[in-house]
Chain A
Amino acid sequence: MKLMEYEGKQLFREAGIPVPGGAVAQGGSEAGKITAETGFPAVVKAQVLSGGRGKRGGIKVVNSASEAEAMASTLLREGLTGEKVERVLIEQGVNIAREFYMAITVDAGIGTPVLMASAEGGVEIESVSEEKIAIKPINIFIGLQAFDVRAAVKSWGLEEPQVKEIIAIAAKLYDVYKSYDADLVEINPLGLTEEGSIVALDAKVIINDNALYRQQQFQKTRDRYDNDLEYRAAEHNLNYVKLDGNIGLLCTGAGLTLATLDLIIDNGGRAANFMESGGANYTNTFHGLALVLSDPDVRVLLINTFGLVSRADVICRGLGDAIKELKPAIPIVASIRGTGEEEARRIFREELKIEPFHRMEDAVKEAIKLAR
């Protein structure tokens, strides 16, 4: 779960990482009032989950309360290049001398968390050449060591007090990483001010989805999802991604679903969604089917299962009951194999009067034909 900048900065502030003074606003006049605290210049920043806000006009320096109010109102009313803006962050302007990069994330290849640091901050880290990024593996049982941070920032050419400050910030950043089960904590840019202090100018925090059960302060709110369907899916713990086609997809297993998507496109069709209703979860089958059918673009339903842990008989029992209750008005094509396949096929053949295919390629081709 990706957090908004203001949420990440709140975690930073609580951990003792210096961030510019400021507050979040949901209305224009509220934004104007906050500038009484921040003074001028202040910065108005759109709170959205996508990157590259600055280039799209989502970050603006303002010099009066009315300017802040106008900027905030425009962003909240019009959004940012098609993306809805529900909040703006109003912050104290800071005189920046230099911009660095610092992050902690997992390096799957090494199998440990790593500290990443670069003297070239303020740009997308992907655009920085690899030799300019210091990477220090962290032993999960020992934690981040001060000497590793010192070595990582050695080339930045800072005065000793600033090096000490950065070592302290890195330790606190690691605390945030650990305490909140983060996949990524990133400060980009980490600013050196004209006055010589170090401050986190942005905050990117991604919480590990698998750990959300023990990080319940982060709620699945609507503003974290691109559309209503994806939000409703998340409420039922379904991983649903809206796509632009007309074949509604209900598959088991992420790998098989991806392979089905590829086959659909290779054969000239378009899927309306990606969805994985993983596990032997009977109730999820109902919600999953209801979700796929609620998309008005869907003209044919394609069911593909090759039962494993999610047994074909259990999934098809759930699907059979869901189809009887929801009575979809569109054609249904199915390919059914794997654990419990005999009972699963019986349910489709006898109870639903649908003859399932044996090969998924045949089912995909039939679905494409019916969707035309």
Chain B
Amino acid sequence: MSIILDGNTKILVQGITGKESSFWTEKMLQSGTNIAAGVTPGKGGSEVHGVPVYDLVEEAVAEGPIDMAVLYVPARFTRDALFEVLAAGIKKAVALADGVPVYDMLEIKELAKKNGAMIIGPNTPGMATIGEAMVGFIPVWLSDVYRPGSVGLITRSGTLTNEISSHIIEAGYGISTLVGCGGDSLPGTRFTDLMPLFAEDEQTEALVIVGEIGGSMEEEVAEFVKGTGFAKPVVAYVAGRTAPKGKRMGHAGAIISRGKGTVEGKRQALESAGIPVAATPAEVGSLLHKRLG
């Protein structure tokens, strides 16, 4: 069991012929990902690591069902690429690009809502069900960083996801599914959109939330746990405790403004819902020990 993605999920890779995406397509295939098709306008008829390439998403869909699209597409083309995915009836998409204009995301979110589709990202490393499939940029083959197991992981960042996961592995646990919601101020999928899925997933016994300054996704997790009685142990880490106010710290969503979005505020909210907050990435491991034994 897993959520959203497993070894049977049929994947379409948009922008498959690029240098980076070709590198990562090979890594995804090696990780067990079931890549059915690739799309790059103008490159239809070619192949990338044995994956057939089409000019249009609808041509790929005509050859067989697609469950999820992953977009190795630059930020400025992400809206059009996602509109094409939605028009073809695909219900899940992972948009990786950093730098998608907020206005484009507003249109994407509205259209996805209308189509009943889930958009993960943008500005995300992607997602993975460890041991089954990976879409994006996640080095799941590093066995001291990722191993299959029972801990669900949802994050707002990339490299920090690796760091936290390595401590979960070091503590003797493994990962069920990890989802990068991305570092933007307006993510397509929020932490709380994923929690009902993790609640139902039999493989997932505990959840680790990796947050950072800015926005309100961590506070929403606290409200969700209080409101639904989410039964599995949750442990959190929130980065940026010492960040100066009013400055954008790398991620578009990482800014403390109007006194809101501080780590202290998030810590208080999470702890009030019974969710311990690790002081360092390494402490995530010991907090899991306390909660899971």
Contact = CB atoms under 8 A, between A and B. Distances in A.
A210 B75 contact: yes
Contacts of B138: 308
A111 B250 contact: no
B159 A308 contact: yes
Interface stretch (A12-20, A73-81, A247-255): A247-255
Given A210-B252, A338-B142, A306 B244 contact: no
A106 B243 contact: no
B101 A361 contact: no
A92 interface: no
Contacts of B76: 213-214
A101 B137 CA distance: 44
B159 A307 contact: yes
| Interface size of A as a range | 35 or more
Interface stretch (B57-65, B199-207, B212-220): B212-220
B48 interface: no
B242 A308 contact: no
A265 B267 CA distance: 18
A259 interface: yes
A306 B159 contact: yes
Contacts of B281: 259, 360
A255 B184 CA distance: 12
B249 A274 contact: yes
B106 A255 contact: no
Interface in B193-245: 210, 212-213, 215-216, 220, 237, 239-244
Contacts of B95: none
A258 B250 contact: yes
A261 B240 contact: yes
B185 A108 contact: yes
Contacts of B43: none
Interface in B127-181: 136-139, 142, 145, 155-163, 166
Contact of B250 (A276, A310, A338, A341): A276
A109 B250 contact: no
Interface in A205-229: 208-211, 213-214
A96 interface: no
Contacts of A279: 98
A339 interface: yes
Interface string B78-121: 00000000000000000010111111001101100100000000
Interface string B231-271: 00000010111111001111111100011000000000000
B107 A308 contact: no
Nearest to B185: A108
B20 interface: yes
Q: Binding site of B, secondary structure by majority: helix, strand, loop or mixed?
A: loop
B166 A337 contact: yes
Nearest to A335: B163
B2 to A, nearest CB: 21
A257 interface: yes
A210 B106 CA distance: 13
B159 A338 contact: yes
A126 B259 CA distance: 9
A252 B243 contact: no
B282 interface: yes
A50 to B, nearest CB: 9
Contacts of B248: 209, 239
A266 B160 contact: no
Contacts of B106: 106, 111-113, 140
A204 to B, nearest CB: 12
A181 interface: yes
A139 B110 contact: yes
Interface string A303-337: 00111111000000000000000000000000001
Interface string A138-154: 01110000000000000
A278 B124 CA distance: 12
A254 B101 contact: no
Given A106-B185, A108-B216, A259 B160 contact: yes
Contact of B163 (A106, A183, A214, A360): A360
A254 B214 CA distance: 12
Identify the 10 closest CB pairs spanning chains A and B, nearest first: A255-B157, A254-B250, A253-B159, A255-B160, A276-B250, A211-B101, A309-B137, A258-B239, A256-B159, A258-B240
Given A262-B241, A308-B158, 20 more contacts: A126-B259, A140-B110, A209-B252, A214-B101, A241-B244, A253-B159, A254-B212, A255-B155, A255-B156, A255-B157, A255-B159, A258-B212, A258-B249, A259-B163, A266-B279, A306-B162, A307-B139, A308-B161, A337-B142, A361-B282
14 contacts: A109-B216, A111-B106, A181-B103, A255-B155, A259-B237, A262-B239, A265-B242, A274-B250, A308-B139, A308-B159, A308-B162, A309-B137, A338-B145, A341-B142
